[in-house]
């Protein structure tokens, strides 16, 4: 079905949310005492320790320490402009190890690949975790199960969205894309979501479905191929990057979260067409409990720009 922007806006449901008015590093979104699994989401970040990247990294370290984050998710474009070329590439130190050096960030980083990663060599990124334990990228797409409480699990599904994008096929600068099998990945996602017994199912990829970013915007191939699978299996949220901004959209029961501002920001549509959108550098924190997931958007100064509750949908 072709995308119609007016129809999408009409169908955009206002999120169940609490706006925090730009408070510095606030406490949890609500005062509940239920056990929670907290993690950070950052995308489009690896710029050899640029000032913007370091500001965001510093604030992410502060928030992850305070909230006892269990892991970080990278939604791709890990190294600009052309990925890495080897396990000894200077990017590893200049863009990752010496930037995200806070003690609170020495936790697992679950990594996805972006188009700028494909502009280099993906294989070193797949191999780096063999000798550096916090870098986790065992395959181009994979899943991980976490125990939120003794009675509730979270399963995260990490996608490689570049092979879905038509313009990347037969692009000599992204030559590795054409060797991937997008249908096999879609079959894996469909069957893995179907087999999952986790109450919470979250999916992560570089390219968003819908986006208000002016640089890229909506990604038709993700809308066509991935979105129906997310809706079919009642995934609660899809996290992405690619557009260098922060945004929360809600499509029926599915929350769409863009966190692509790890080291740079770009213009967005004005007026906004989503519950929250902001052209600024920053990151996202998510905290999963039995009944809901708290999602908070932070800028590079550590201000909590916006917060929302993602409700756990028990409908089969």
As a whole number of angstroms, the distance between CA 76 and CA 237 comes to 17
Please report the pLDDT score of residue 4 as a whole number: 41
d(CA 174, CA 121): 9
pLDDT tens digits in sequence order for the chain, 316 residues long: 333 433 343 334 333 333 333 333 333 444 467 789 999 999 999 999 999 999 999 999 999 999 999 999 999 999 999 999 999 999 999 999 999 999 999 999 999 999 999 999 999 999 999 999 999 999 999 999 999 999 999 999 999 999 999 999 989 999 899 999 999 999 999 999 999 999 999 999 999 999 999 999 999 999 999 999 999 999 999 999 999 999 999 999 999 999 999 999 999 998 777 999 999 999 999 999 988 999 999 999 999 999 999 998 755 4
What is the domain partition of the chain in residue ranges?
Answer: 35-311
Q: What is the pLDDT of residue 257?
A: 98
CATH class of the domain at 35-311: alpha beta
Asked, as a colleague might, if the bond just before 271 is cis with ω within 30 of 0, I would say: yes
Eight-class DSSP state of 244:
S
What pLDDT is attached to residue 29? 43
Q: What tokens does 92 get?
A: 């590893």
Residue 208 buriedness (CB in 10 A; 0-12 / 13-18 / 19+): buried
Active site residues: 216
For residue 283, CA distances in Å to 17, 160, 224, 257, 289 come to: 18, 20, 27, 11, 20
């Amino acid at each position: 079905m072709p995308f119609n922007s007016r129809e999408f806006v009409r169908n955009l449901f206002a999120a169940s949310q609490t706006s925090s008015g730009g408070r510095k590093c606030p406490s949890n979104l609500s005062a509940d005492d239920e056990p929670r699994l907290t993690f950070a989401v950052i995308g489009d970040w690896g710029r050899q320790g640029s000032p913007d990247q370091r500001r965001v990294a510093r604030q992410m370290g502060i928030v992850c320490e305070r909230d006892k984050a269990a892991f970080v998710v990278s939604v791709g474009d890990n190294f600009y402009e052309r990925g890495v070329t080897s396990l000894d590439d200077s990017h590893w130190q200049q863009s990752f190890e010496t930037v995200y050096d806070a003690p609170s960030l020495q936790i697992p980083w679950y990594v996805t690949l972006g188009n700028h990663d494909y502009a280099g060599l993906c294989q070193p990124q797949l191999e780096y975790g063999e000798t550096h334990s916090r870098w986790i990228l065992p395959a181009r797409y994979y899943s991980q199960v976490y125990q939120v409480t003794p009675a509730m699990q979270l399963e995260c599904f990490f996608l490689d969205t570049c092979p879905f994008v038509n313009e990347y096929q037969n692009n000599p600068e992204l030559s590795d894309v054409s060797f991937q099998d997008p249908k096999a990945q879609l079959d894996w996602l469909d069957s893995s979501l179907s087999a999952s017994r986790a109450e919470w199912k979250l999916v992560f990829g570089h390219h968003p479905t819908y986006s208000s970013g002016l640089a890229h915007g909506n990604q038709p191939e993700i809308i066509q191929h991935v979105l129906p699978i997310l809706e079919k299996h009642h995934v609660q949220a899809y996290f992405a990057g690619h557009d260098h901004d922060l945004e929360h959209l809600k499509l029926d029961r599915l929350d769409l979260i863009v966190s692509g501002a790890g080291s740079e920001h770009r213009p967005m549509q004005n007026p906004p067409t989503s519950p929250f959108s902001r052209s600024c550098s920053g990151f996202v924190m998510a905290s999963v409990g039995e009944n809901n997931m708290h999602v908070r958007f932070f800028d590079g100064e550590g201000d909590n720009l916006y917060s929302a509750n993602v409700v756990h949908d028990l409908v089969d």
